[in-house]
C-alpha cells in the first residue's frame, strides 16, 4: 500500500510516523428555481503524512499520490517549526464492527437521481405552485488507507447518500425560506417523506403571527437544537478544557443540566454520518457518555491533547470534535409540549449562530424560521424576532424533552427540547 511506502520513507529520518490516503468519487444532481441546474460527477484524492522527529511534530498533505518523497520531505521540514510531541502513535488495535458501506448506493444512476429530485419538487409544487423550489440528490463512495510506524494498519470503504428540498415563498414584501434534507451512509432514504416535512414547515407558515417581546417558553425542534449544542460542542472539546477556555473545565461529576438531560458521543451507529471504526489517528472509536442524568461525565480528546492533559484519547482525533451526538429521549410527546404552552416560540432555524460568545454559552440570534405558540396551538410564523439566552442556564431550566428523536444532518439524533423561558425580542 502507498501508506506503507510513506512510513518506510519517513522512518529513514523520523522516530515515528503515520500516513493516510483517501480517494473518493461523487455524483451530485441539483435543481434551482423549479429547474434542473446541473448533474456533475467528480473524483478526489488526498494523501497525508505526520511524523515525530527530534521530539517535534511535522505534517504535510498532497493530492498527488506519486509525490511520496516530496510529501515526506515537506513534513520533515515542518518539524523545525512544529509543536512538541506529547504522544506516541498507537499500536495495532481491533476496531469495532460498524456498517458504513451500502451496496445499493453505487448502482443508482444519474437518471434515477434526477427522478428523485423531480418527485420531491413536484410534491412541493402540488402543495403550492407559487413556491420556487430547489432540490439536490447526491451519492458518493470513499476509500481510505491508514498505517503508522507502530504497526497499526487499516483500510475502509464508505458510501454516502443525501437528498434535500427547499423553497422560497414570496408574498409581497415577505420572503420565506423553508426546507428539509437528510443524508447518511445508506441508500435507504424516503425522499418523499423529506418533501412532506418541507411542506409541513410551509403549512405552519401560511399565517404570520405577531409576537411581543418578553421572556417566554421556547421549544427547540430537532433542527433548532444546534442553538443549544454549539456551546456544548465547544465545552466538551478537550483542547478547550486543557487551555482553560471551556466553562466545563473542573466540573466533571457535577450536575450541569436538568436530570432528564443526557447526551453521548456515539460513532458506532450503523450508517450514521459520523460513524467509522477508527478516528483519523488510528484510535478505535468508542461510545463516550458526555452528560448522564444532568451530570458531566467526560470530555473528548485526540492523541495530542490527551497527552498534554495526562489522559487518553477518546477516539476523537484530530481536533477533539464529536462524531454522532445523541440526546436521550424524554417522556413528553411533541404534541403535549405544544398543548401545554400558553404562549411561546417554536424554533427551527436561526441566523447568526456562533456570533457573540458561544464558548461561554451566550447566544443572541435571529430566528430565521420560527412559529408562535398560542393557547396550545401553533398559530403561525414569526418575523423579525431575535432569541437570546445562555445554553448552560437553559439546560438547567428544561420543561420537557420529547419522546421521539429525529436525525438532523446525519450526525445529530435529538428529540425536541423545551426550555422554561428565554428572551424573545420582536420589532
The three-class DSSP label of residue 48 is: strand
pLDDT number for residue 354: 85
pLDDT number for residue 177: 96
Cell 403550492 locates to 128
300 DSSP 8-state letter:
B
Sign of the Cα pseudo-torsion (293, 346, 365, 216, in order): negative
* 334 and 365 assigned to the same domain: yes
* 10 and 123 assigned to the same domain: yes
* 141 and 236 assigned to the same domain: no
CATH classification of the domain holding 12: 3.30.2290.10
* 413 and 319 assigned to the same domain: yes
Count how many domains the chain has: 2
pLDDT number for residue 427: 86
* 217 and 199 assigned to the same domain: no
* 186 and 214 assigned to the same domain: no
- Give the residue ranges of the chain where pLDDT is below 70: none
φ/ψ of residue 290, rounded to 5: -105, -50
> What b/e sequence results for 263-295 when a residue is b if at least 16 CB atoms lie within 10 Å of its CB, and e otherwise?
bbbbbbbebbbbbbbbbbbbbbbbbbebbbebb
* 167 and 298 assigned to the same domain: no
Range(s) of the domain holding residue 415:
207-427
> Could you tell me the end-to-end alpha-carbon distance of the chain, in angstroms, rounded to an integer?
62
Alpha helices by DSSP H, 128-237: 191-204, 226-236
φ/ψ of residue 54, rounded to 5: 55, 35
Q: What is the pLDDT of residues 212-242, one digit of tens each?
A: 999 999 999 999 999 999 999 999 999 999 9
Residues whose CB falls within 8 Å of the CB of residue 113, separated by 6 or more in sequence, listed in order: 27, 29, 39, 137, 138, 139
pTM of this structure = 0.96
> Taking a C-beta distance cutoff of 8 angstroms, is the pair 6, 68 a contact?
yes
* 262 and 321 assigned to the same domain: yes
pLDDT number for residue 162: 98
* 194 and 317 assigned to the same domain: no
* 8 and 52 assigned to the same domain: yes
Show the cell assigned to 104: 445499493
Residues whose CB falls within 8 Å of the CB of residue 250, separated by 6 or more in sequence, listed in order: none
Q: What is the pLDDT of residues 99-143, one digit of tens each?
A: 999 999 999 999 999 999 999 999 999 999 999 999 999 999 999
Cα dihedral 286/292/295/298 (nearest 10): 0
pLDDT number for residue 200: 98
* 316 and 405 assigned to the same domain: yes
Amino acid at each position: 500500500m502507498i501508506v506503507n511506502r510513506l512510513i518506510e520513507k519517513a522512518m529513514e529520518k523520523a522516530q515515528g510516523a503515520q500516513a493516510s490516503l483517501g480517494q473518493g468519487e461523487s455524483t451530485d444532481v441539483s435543481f434551482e428555481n423549479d429547474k434542473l441546474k446541473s448533474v456533475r460527477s467528480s473524483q478526489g484524492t488526498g494523501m497525508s503524512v505526520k511524523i515525530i522527529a527530534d521530539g517535534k511534530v511535522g505534517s504535510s498533505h498532497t493530492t498527488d499520490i506519486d509525490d511520496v518523497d516530496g510529501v515526506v520531505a515537506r513534513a520533515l521540514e515542518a518539524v523545525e517549526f512544529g509543536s512538541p510531541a506529547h504522544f506516541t502513535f498507537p499500536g495495532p488495535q481491533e476496531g469495532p464492527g460498524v456498517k458504513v458501506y451500502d451496496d445499493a448506493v453505487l448502482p443508482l444512476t444519474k437518471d434515477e437521481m434526477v427522478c428523485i429530485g423531480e418527485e420531491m419538487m413536484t410534491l412541493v409544487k402540488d402543495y403550492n405552485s407559487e413556491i420556487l423550489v430547489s432540490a439536490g440528490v447526491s451519492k458518493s463512495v470513499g476509500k481510505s488507507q491508514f498505517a503508522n510506524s507502530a504497526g497499526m494498519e487499516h483500510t475502509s470503504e464508505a458510501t454516502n447518500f443525501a437528498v434535500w428540498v427547499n423553497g422560497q415563498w414570496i408574498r409581497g414584501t415577505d420572503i420565506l425560506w423553508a426546507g428539509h434534507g437528510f443524508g447518511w451512509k445508506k441508500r435507504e432514504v424516503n425522499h418523499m417523506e423529506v418533501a412532506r416535512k418541507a411542506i409541513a414547515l410551509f403549512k405552519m407558515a401560511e399565517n404570520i403571527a405577531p409576537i411581543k417581546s418578553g421572556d417566554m417558553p421556547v421549544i427547540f425542534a430537532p433542527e433548532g437544537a444546534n442553538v443549544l449544542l454549539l456551546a456544548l460542542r465547544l465545552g466538551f472539546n478537550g483542547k478547550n478544557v486543557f487551555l482553560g477556555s471551556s466553562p466545563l473545565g473542573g466540573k466533571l461529576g457535577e450536575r450541569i443540566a436538568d436530570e432528564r438531560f443526557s447526551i453521548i458521543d456515539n460513532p458506532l451507529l450503523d450508517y450514521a454520518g459520523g460513524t467509522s471504526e477508527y478516528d483519523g489517528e488510528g484510535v478505535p472509536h468508542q461510545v463516550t457518555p458526555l452528560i448522564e442524568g444532568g451530570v458531566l461525565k467526560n470530555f473528548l480528546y485526540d492523541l495530542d491533547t490527551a497527552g498534554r492533559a495526562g489522559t487518553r484519547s477518546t477516539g476523537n482525533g484530530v481536533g477533539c470534535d464529536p462524531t454522532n451526538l445523541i440526546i436521550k429521549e424524554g417522556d413528553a410527546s411533541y404534541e403535549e409540549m405544544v398543548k401545554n404552552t400558553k404562549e411561546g416560540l417554536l424554533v427551527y432555524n436561526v441566523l447568526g449562530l456562533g456570533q457573540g460568545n458561544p464558548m461561554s454559552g451566550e447566544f443572541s440570534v435571529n430566528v430565521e424560521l420560527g412559529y408562535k405558540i398560542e393557547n396550545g396551538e401553533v398559530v403561525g410564523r414569526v418575523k423579525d424576532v431575535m432569541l437570546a439566552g445562555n445554553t448552560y442556564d437553559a439546560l438547567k431550566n428544561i420543561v420537557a424533552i420529547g419522546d421521539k428523536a429525529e436525525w438532523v444532518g446525519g450526525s445529530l439524533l435529538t428529540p425536541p427540547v423545551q426550555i422554561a423561558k428565554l428572551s424573545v425580542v420582536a420589532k
